[in-house]
Amino acid sequence: MPDPPVPDPPVTAPPQFVDVDGRRLEFAWAGAADAEGPVLVFLHKALGCVGMWREVPAVLARMTGRRAIAYSRAGYGRSDPVALPRPLDFHDIEAYDVLPRLLDALGIETAVLIGHSDGATIALLTAARDRRIRGVVSMAAHVFNERITRAGAQLALGAWKTTDLRAKLERYHGAQVDDAFFGWNDVWLDPAFHDWNIEDRLIDIHCPVLIVQGTRDQYGTAAQVEAIAAGVSGPAQIMMIDGCGHAPHQDAPALLFPRIVDFVAGLTG
C-alpha cells in the first residue's frame, strides 16, 4: 500500500475562524454569497483540513451553482488543538455535537454534506439526526472497522517513522502535526476499537446518499459500500471507480465531479 496521499499545499488565503463550544475552528467559504439552495459542506479525512481540499470546494461550488464551505475539525489545520487520546466515539461527538453547532454558528439552514473517509462517516451520522441535511456524498466512508483499515493505519505508522510523511503533513497542521497523526492512528489501532460499527444507525438516514468508493482503496473494501446502501432508508446511489484509491476527488475528479453535480441537482425539498 502507498503512503497516505498528501497533496502539495496551495497558496492559502488568510484563515477565518468560528467559535464552537469554546474552540476556534478554521473555515473557508467558496462560491457566490448569494447562491441559493443548500450549502455544500466539506468534511475532511482523518489527516485532512481545509487546505488539503485544495480547489475542490471552489470547483464544485462553481459547477453546482451553490455556496460551499470547508472547515477543519479541532486538532487539524489551523483549528484549535485537542488533548489526546481522542475518545473512541469521536465520530459521534463530531456528528452530534460539533457539526450541528457549526451550522448554527454560520447560519446554514440546509446543507449537502460532502465527506471523505472519517469525514464521510461523520456526514452519515449527522444526516441520521439532523433534518437540515438534504443529501450526503459519502466518499470512502467507514461504517465498521475492517482488517484492511487497520493494516492501512499500521502501514501509515511505518511511513510516519521512516519517510517524510511527517514533514508533508506539518505543512498543513503545523505544531500540532503529531497530535493530528496519532489522534487518528491510535484510535484505529486500539484493540477496543476493532469492533466499532455504526451500521445500526444508518436506518435513520432518509435523505439521498451518493456512495463513492475506489476499487483500489487502501483503507476499505466494497463491503463498506454495500453496508451503507443496504442500511439507509433514503435513496442510495453507488459509484465504484475502477483503479481509484482512497481519495476519489484527487484520483478521478473528471468522473466524480459531474456525478456530484447531477446528484446535487436532483435533490428536492
Q: What is the pLDDT of residues 150-160, one digit of tens each?
A: 999 999 999 99
Q: What is the pLDDT of residues 198-242, one digit of tens each?
A: 999 999 999 999 999 999 999 999 999 999 999 999 999 999 999
Distance CA 67, CA 31 (A): 5
pTM of the predicted model, to two decimals? 0.94
Share of the chain above pLDDT 70, in %: 94
Q: What is the pLDDT of residues 12-48, one digit of tens each?
A: 456 799 999 999 999 999 999 999 999 999 999 999 9
- Give the chain's mean pLDDT: 94
Q: How far is CA 240 from the centre of its chain?
A: 18
Domain ranges in the chain? 16-265
Pick the CATH number of 16-265 from 3.30.70.20, 3.40.430.10, 3.20.190.10, 3.40.50.1820: 3.40.50.1820
- DSSP letters for 135-152: EEEEES--SB--HHHHHH
